[in-house]
């Protein structure tokens, strides 16, 4: 099955190269896999779990999401595992890789109550704010189409870099543009990025040691800030330890 997956992956990559050669306007909105064995193995694992687990909550994204399985494990186990959640994060992914995964198995047989989306940070430096927002929009529309009963919580892209920098400005503009996708019926938007910032705009190492990925404390702060909205959209009670119960 892994070999078959590799064949699909290779075909997808060739199609993407053909599209680029033909002058595709926005790479962020064109589904594109990675020809990398580790990526393929992770993608295959997620597609298998999607079929086997029938989760009620999915979290879609890049390494920020995937690291819920490492530094964020205690937070995941407290807030999301009891909700039968599935982590659909792969490190290094841009919007185009997520799009490909959503169209090629990661959503197979799923019917969750809620899909949380955190994607776009890795598009910084490669795409304009408008292009990133278009890529995020494609991800959201794919989730709407393939998960007709799910609500979607779109998160603003987290800040990156110890101090304010031009890439942060691009990502912030992309998030602002993407926020227009929210209709507050099926698609909801939440910006919790400020929890990682000091008043001067710098990021403390205690929350993001590499100024990009949350630490254990950073994951805790993130979950606390998101929990009231997640509980409301899931139709359940806020989990113990959230700001909703303090």
| Nearest-angstrom CA–CA distance, 147 and 17 | 29
**Which residue in the list 47, 93, 213, 242 is annotated as catalytic?**
213
Collapsing DSSP to helix, strand or coil, 132 comes out as helix
Collapsing DSSP to helix, strand or coil, 89 comes out as strand
**Which residue in the list 63, 191, 202, 236 is annotated as catalytic?**
63
HEC string of 183-215? CCCCEEEECCHHHHCCCCCCCCCCCCCCCCCCC
**Which residue in the list 111, 145, 183, 210 is annotated as catalytic?**
210
Identify whether the C-beta of residue 105 lies closer than 8 Å to the C-beta of residue 50: yes
Cβ of 147: how many Cβ atoms within 10 Å? 20
- The yes-or-no answer on residue 179 being catalytic is no
- The yes-or-no answer on residue 7 being catalytic is no
CA atoms within 13 A on the CB side of 49: 16
106 — phi, psi (to 5°)? -65, -20
- The yes-or-no answer on residue 210 being catalytic is yes
Collapsing DSSP to helix, strand or coil, 61 comes out as strand
Query: Which residues belong to the active site?
Result: 63, 210, 213
């Amino acid at each position: 099955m892994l070999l078959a997956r590799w064949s699909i992956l290779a075909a997808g990559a060739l199609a993407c190269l053909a599209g680029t050669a033909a002058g595709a306007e926005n790479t962020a909105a064109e589904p594109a896999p990675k020809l990398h064995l580790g990526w393929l193995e992770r993608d295959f694992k997620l597609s298998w779990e999607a079929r086997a687990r029938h989760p009620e909550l999915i979290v879609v994204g890049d390494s920020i999401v995937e690291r819920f399985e490492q530094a964020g494990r205690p937070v995941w186990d407290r807030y999301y595992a009891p909700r039968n959640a599935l982590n659909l994060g792969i490190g290094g992914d841009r919007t185009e890789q997520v799009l490909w995964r959503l169209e090629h198995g990661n959503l197979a047989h799923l019917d969750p109550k809620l899909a949380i989306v955190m994607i776009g940070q890795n598009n910084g430096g490669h795409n304009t704010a408008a292009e990133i927002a278009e890529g995020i929009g494609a991800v959201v529309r794919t989730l709407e189409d393939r998960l007709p009963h799910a609500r979607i919580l779109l998160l603003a892209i987290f800040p990156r870099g110890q101090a304010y920098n031009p890439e942060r400005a691009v990502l912030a503009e992309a998030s602002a543009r993407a926020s227009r996708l929210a209709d507050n019926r099926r698609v909801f938007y939440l910006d919790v990025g400020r929890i990682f910032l000091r008043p001067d705009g710098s990021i403390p190492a205690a929350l993001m040691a590499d100024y990009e990925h949350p630490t254990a404390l950073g994951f805790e702060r993130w979950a606390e800030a998101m929990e009231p909205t997640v509980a409301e959209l899931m139709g359940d009670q806020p989990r113990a330890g959230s700001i909703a119960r303090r």
